[in-house]
Structure 1
Amino acid sequence: MNKFFLGLILLVLVVGFSVYAYLGGFNNPEIKVTTSKTQYIAGTYYAGPIEGEELGLVFRKAAEVLEKKELAGQLANIYYNSPEKQTDSLKAFIGILIQDTTAQLPAGYQLQKLPGGKKVVQATINAHYMLSPKKLYPALFEYLKKESLKNRQTYLEIFPNERSAFIQTEILP
C-alpha cells in the first residue's frame, strides 16, 4: 500500500515537472537594453481590483477579438502600476498590438499610441503566457537594480504567440 502511494506521488511529480518544462517554466529570460519602436494598441482601459471579474472579462474580450479576427495583431497590455509594489488594484490598458491604425476598432475599443525612440529594458522569454510574467518581472527588476537604472513605472507586455512574451519598461535619464 505504501509503495503504491509513493509510486503515485512520484508519477504525479514527474508529470507535473514534465508539464512545467513543456510550458517553458525552466527557461530563463533574456534581458537587453534597446530602443523602443512606436507601437499602437487597440484596447480598453481598466482600473479596478486585480481579483475582479471585470478584469477577466477585459482579457477575454481581447482574446475574442483576435480569435474572431476583428483585429490582426498580438495580445498586449500596458500596466501603469508597478508589479513590485503589490497592491490589490490595477491600472492597465488591455488589448491588441496592431500595425494597421486605420482598422475599424471593435465597440468600446480605443487606440493608444506608445511613441518610439525611447531607451528601454526588455525582458523576453519563450514560455507559455500564463508562466511568462512571473518569470519576466523578477528578472527585469533584478537587472534594473544590478545596473542601478531607474525606470518609468509603466510596463508594456506583448505576447507574440502563446509560447513567447516580452516586457519593456522605459529607462529614465
Structure 2
Amino acid sequence: MIRRFGTVPEAGRRYVRRPGVYALLPQGGDLLITCQHDPGPELQLPGGGIDPGESPVTALHREVLEETGWLIAAPRRVGAFRRFTYMPEYDLWAEKICLIYTARPVRPLGPPHEAGHTALWISAGDAAKMLGNAGDRHFAERHARRSRRAVAG
C-alpha cells in the first residue's frame, strides 16, 4: 500500500489514475525546485506525468529538463506516495501516484522549456516547509534530516 498525503477521496467522485515521477535534486544544502505560476504560484518538486509507453526514468529526465532546464544524472528511487486532487490544466480529478527519485543536477541547458515554470534553488529545510503539497514536503524533510545527520556525523 502506498502512503496517501492530502485530502481523502470524495465518495462517488471518479478519479483518473495518473502515475508521475518527481525529483529531489540536491546540491550542497539546497534543492533545485520549480515554481509553477499558473493557476497560481506553487513550489513543487520538478516532475510530472509518465507518458504511455515511457519508462519512469526517461520521464524523470524529460520532466526535470522541461521544468528546470537542467540535465540530471544517477537517478535513484527513494519512495512513493499518492494524493487525490483536481488538476485544472487537464480538467480532471486525479489519483496521482507519485514516484520520488533523488538525482544529481549536472548542468543547466537554459531556462525551463515548459511555460509558466521557474527553476529555484532553496535550502532543503525551507523546501520542507514551502513545497505546495504534503507528499513533496515529507520527502524534502526526509532528505533534509539525512543531510543534517551526514554533516553532523
Q: The TM-score by the shorter chain falls in which range? A: under 0.3
- Greater strand percent: which structure? 2
TM-score normalised over the length of structure 2: 0.28
Larger Rg: 1
